[in-house]
Amino acid sequence: MMLPCREVMRKVSQGEDRSLAFGERVALRLHFAICRGCRNASAQLKFLRRAVRRLSE
C-alpha cells in the first residue's frame, strides 16, 4: 500500500521533530524510490534546518 504524497510530506516534517517508527521509515523509503517530487520536496524541507542555522552565524 502506497502513501499519498500529502501524507509523505507530513511524515517527512514529523521526522524532523520525532523519531519515526520503523514502519513509517520503510513506507517513506518505498515512496521515495518511485516519487521524484517527494524526494525533491523532502530534501528541501530538511535543507531549511541548515539554512536557519546559518542565520545566526
Interface with another protein by CB under 8 A: which residues? 4-7, 9-10, 13-14, 16-18, 35-38, 40-41, 43-45, 47-56
Burial class (CB in 10 A: 0-12, 13-18, 19+), 8: buried
Cβ nearer to another protein, comparing 33 with 55:
55
For residue 13, how many other CB atoms are within 10 A of its CB? 13
| Min CB(24)–another protein separation in Å | 13
For residue 9, how many other CB atoms are within 10 A of its CB? 16
Cβ nearer to another protein, comparing 26 with 48:
48
Cβ nearer to another protein, comparing 5 with 26:
5
Grid coordinates representing 51? 539554512
